[in-house]
Amino acid sequence: MPADILFDLDGTLIDSSPGILASFGRILAADGLRPAVPLEAALIGPPLAVTLRRVSGIADEVRLAGLVEAFKQDYDTAGYLGTEVFPGVAAGLAQLAAADARLFIVTNKRLVPTRRILEALGLAQFFAGIHTRDETEPPAASKAAVTKRILARYGIDPAQALFVGDSGEDAAAARENGLRFIHAAYGYGGAGIAAAPDAVLRHFAELPGIVAALSRRAWATTGHP
């Protein structure tokens, strides 16, 4: 089994759409706005300011910045409580951790709600590292940049690691860092996967078996476990 597995969060481990969309709706209404696009799960994934620009239809940077802060206040106190875990995630993470895999989070979600959600759902215990774009100043330019930083910080060998995610951005982060990619096809961003992944995950309970199979394939190819 690979020593290290990196996970996207939204759309891969959790369904955060109910809480996020509810927060979007509340802050837009408070500002006298109607959504410029339907508030649906496919919006989830990009950085907050990018998504808020789309859902509000606002181009003015000052007003947009106000919406960003309003969202943070609402989501960090109320919206995040609407988060749900995808079926099989807790048991699958426990199985991987018990097999001595190191598990990491790499997400566009901000660090404060990320930690609150993982703690509230009882998932934080499984991760050797929880990393976000906003944990540095200035924030990382991309999820690929966060991934690169994680590999260096923990001494991760890309040949012995995997990235599990649901979006094209996740696939790109894996590709740019030499990681094999497992596509969580049940997530939000399947339409953005341009190249064929190394494996497709249709239910999280399948993940330990997929990881074991990819490990055997790597052993056969390289002669290394």
**Catalytic machinery residues:** 8
Q: What is the DSSP letter of 10?
A: B
Question: For residues 83 and 19, is the Cβ–Cβ distance under 8 A?
Answer: yes
Q: How far apart are CA 178 and CA 225, in angstroms?
A: 17
| Token output for 181 | 């990619």
Per-residue CA distances from 33 to 2, 36, 57, 94 (Å): 48, 9, 9, 43
Residue with the two structure tokens 């290290």: 4
Q: Which amino acid is at 184?
A: A
